Amino acid sequence: MGAQRDPTTLSNYGLWRTRHTAVDFRIDFDRKRLQGSVTLRLERQTADAGAEVVLDTRFVEVTGARVAHTSTSSDTSTSTAAEWELKPHRDPLGAPLHVTLPAAAVGATPVGAALDLTLDVATTDRCTALQWLTPAQTSNRAHPYMFSQCQAINCRSIFPCQDTPDVKSTFGFRLTSSLPTVASGVPVGDHDPTPGVEKVYEFAQEVPIPSYLFAVASGDIRMRRIGARSKVASGPDEVDGCQWELQRDMDRFLEVAEKLIFPYRWGEYNVLVLPPSFPYGGMENPIFTFATPTIISGDRQNVDVIAHELAHSWSGNLVSNASWEHFWLNEGWTTYLERRIGAGLHGEPEFDFSSIIGWKALEDAVAQFGPDHEYTKLIISHKDVDPEDVYSTVAYEKGFHFLYYLDRLVGRANFDKFIPHYFTKWAGKSLDSFEFKQTFVDFFNGLGDEALKQKLITIDWEDKLYSPGLPPKPEFDTTLAQQCYDLANKWKESSFEPSPKDIEGLTANQLQVFLGAVQEQKGLSAERAQKLGAVYGFTASQNVEVLAAYYRIALEAGDRSCVPGVAALLGRVGRMKFVRALFRALNEVDRDSALDTFEKNKDFYHPICRGMVEKDLKI
């Protein structure tokens, strides 16, 4: 078999590799399924590739297979039925689909040539990638809604594929729906919906992408322009608010990112603000970032999520981690670029301020796993592991800190020369940590600077990539944070009498730092926690970041009076960042309330989120 380095796929992509993927699906809201066909253009990789193609699936219904190939003698295309067998399912990777290619098709496909495998498929009610919302679960309660979330290995539950970030292909979409539809491609043809009438929505993705970036959403979606190359899409009642929230910064984000790296290569950059059950802050699906509605806070304080997802257009989407073992290459780079974008817009102290917030999140993640846990390393073994179980802030923040260490080691001016070199060299490809190391060392050795060469020798790559726990903490510029720390220190004294004036002029991010510092101090009584929320108005905050941070303090203080508020928040927000932390904290204070709240809301949560909370609560 050709070289394969991803343990989370059962496919034989080292022998036959997908170069183009074409889906033709009908979105069936009544039966809650996608049904149709997928065609994979498979390129032969080796002379001994054989006649068997193995694809990843998980709870997908397959009803037919056929292979089209071009005869080498006549240039005519021939389509032949193919035999296939779905092997037994095993968690977490699913059931491999073994397809036997017709001998004539294999014989007519030399190394480097391709054939087309078409499969007739339908999703099932066990699909982990799709969430189907009833009209009652949407804001205006008028129409159903469907959206996908394929990262990390959930695309295989929509259609058979080589479900690994080590394989990239171009995509074509034909999606038939009775409601407006978006996908991770550039719209092709007429997309004006006709109410109540099924329509074919077509999209093309000409930049090769991995399977986890396949995305589709359909519902009562409206569009507004937020920039020269950007639109926002959302429900009819929310779209104007979303436009206001994003239109000030969208073009500025793009401008700073392009100066830092190189011009944006995807054409459009649009944002789909999803219903509240979406489990992530954002998902960097090309052309259409899928975003949580928690970024729409009415104060433009949470839009840095969009800077993060935009940065993914280079790190993750254009240059991808070869397997989820090297996830830090996606998220560490993106977090670094997000902070550089923030500094470009708001000044250098913003970089450090965001890093301070991130350091607190990293400390929390390491504390949750334990400082010696495998999942607190940069490179994490994924053998017989579900990537969802590994997912945490570690890849983001520890990955950021490794890049920031390299930035400081070689100097910002030198590192800024490396950034476009790295993304140019690996554009359209996938790499692992060892290829990153070689790229970095080769680049700086190639500059011919002896002082730089000596600095490279000091990097302990083994330690950086494989040591668990927290990295060394840099000296951050605390200009924007000091006011928060000073106020938090006052709360160490039980005699301190707070006033609403204490937090006048603080941004939502500064409030998060303040609350994080108070939480770190521990020891707050339930009575003092109540006062904290009441005097500063946190319980009435419309900013979910602030509200959730306050509720974690209140729960850790044993303040049972906050339980109804926590339960209410868990009934309207599905973002895992908040849901998992609040359920864990609520479980410590009142397990019955935690179980009851989960039972009431489990159908509201996305399948990924629901599964993770079940593990957190040990249900």
Rounded average pLDDT per 10-residue block, the chain, 619 residues: 83 97 98 98 95 97 93 73 96 97 94 97 96 85 92 97 98 97 96 89 98 97 97 95 96 97 97 91 95 91 91 98 98 98 94 95 95 97 92 97 98 98 98 98 96 96 98 94 96 94 93 94 93 96 94 96 96 94 96 97 90 95
Q: What is the rounded CA–CA span in Å between residue 182 and residue 214?
A: 11
Q: Which residues are known binding-site members?
A: 149-151, 279-284, 308, 312, 331, 575-577
* Residue-level pLDDT at 72: 58
Q: Which amino acid, residue 18?
A: T
φ/ψ of residue 559, rounded to 5: -80, 95
DSSP β-ladder status, 16-28 and 77-81? unpaired
Q: What is the rounded CA–CA span in Å between residue 560 and residue 539?
A: 14
DSSP 516-560: HHHHHH----HHHHHHHHHHHTGGG-S-HHHHHHHHHHHHHTT-G
On the CB side of 210, CA atoms within 13 Å amount to 31
Lookup result for tokens 């209140």: 554
Q: What is the rounded CA–CA span in Å between residue 397 and residue 402?
A: 9
Fold classification of 323-466 is: Neutral Protease; domain 2 (1.10.390)
Catalytic residues: 309, 396
Q: What is the rounded CA–CA span in Å between residue 262 and residue 421?
A: 10
Q: Euclidean distance between the first and final Cα of the chain, in Å? A: 41
Q: What is the rounded CA–CA span in Å between residue 307 and residue 260?
A: 13
φ/ψ of residue 500, rounded to 5: -55, -25
Looking at the DSSP bridge assignments, the partners of residue 59 are: none
Q: What is the rounded CA–CA span in Å between residue 354 and residue 338?
A: 9
Q: Which residues are known binding-site members for a peptide?
A: 149-151, 279-284, 575-577
* Run of H or E residues at 485: helix 482-490
Q: Which two tokens stand for residue 343?
A: 């500094």
E strand intervals along 16-90: 16-28, 33-44, 52-55, 60-70, 77-81, 83-86
- Decide: 200 and 51 in contact? Cβ < 8 Å: no
- Decide: 324 and 389 in contact? Cβ < 8 Å: no
Q: What is the rounded CA–CA span in Å between residue 232 and residue 242?
A: 7
Q: Which two tokens stand for residue 470?
A: 């927290």
Question: Among residues 165, 249, 246, 272, which one has the least CA distance to residue 209?
Answer: 165
- Decide: 306 and 340 in contact? Cβ < 8 Å: no
Tell me the domain boundaries of the chain.
1-208, 221-313, 323-466, 481-617
What are the contacts of 417-422 at 24+ separation with CB within 8 A?
A: 418/443, 418/444, 419/260, 419/261, 420/261, 420/262, 422/319
CATH number, domain 221-313, options 3.10.520.10, 3.40.50.11540, 3.40.50.1820, 3.30.2010.30: 3.30.2010.30
Under CATH, which architecture does the 481-617 domain have? Alpha Horseshoe (1.25)
CB neighbour list of residue 355: distance below 8 Å, 6 or more residues apart: 339, 400, 404, 474, 476
Looking at the DSSP bridge assignments, the partners of residue 504 are: none
pTM of the entire predicted model: 0.92
Q: Which two tokens stand for residue 557?
A: 């203080």
Q: What is the rounded CA–CA span in Å between residue 98 and residue 87?
A: 7
Question: Among residues 56, 51, 62, which one has the least CA distance to residue 10?
Answer: 56
Q: What is the rounded CA–CA span in Å between residue 414 and residue 407?
A: 8
CATH top-level class for 1-208? mainly beta
Helix and strand numbers, DSSP H then E, in the chain: 20, 22
- 342 three-class SS: helix
User: Which strands, in side-by-side order, build the sheet including 199-209?
Assistant: 77-81, 60-70, 114-123, 33-44, 16-28, 169-177, 199-209, 186-188
CB neighbour list of residue 244: distance below 8 Å, 6 or more residues apart: none
* Residue-level pLDDT at 1: 44
Q: Which residues are known binding-site members for Zn(2+)?
A: 308, 312, 331
* Residue-level pLDDT at 75: 67
* Residue-level pLDDT at 397: 98
Q: Which amino acid, residue 459?
A: I
- 346 three-class SS: helix
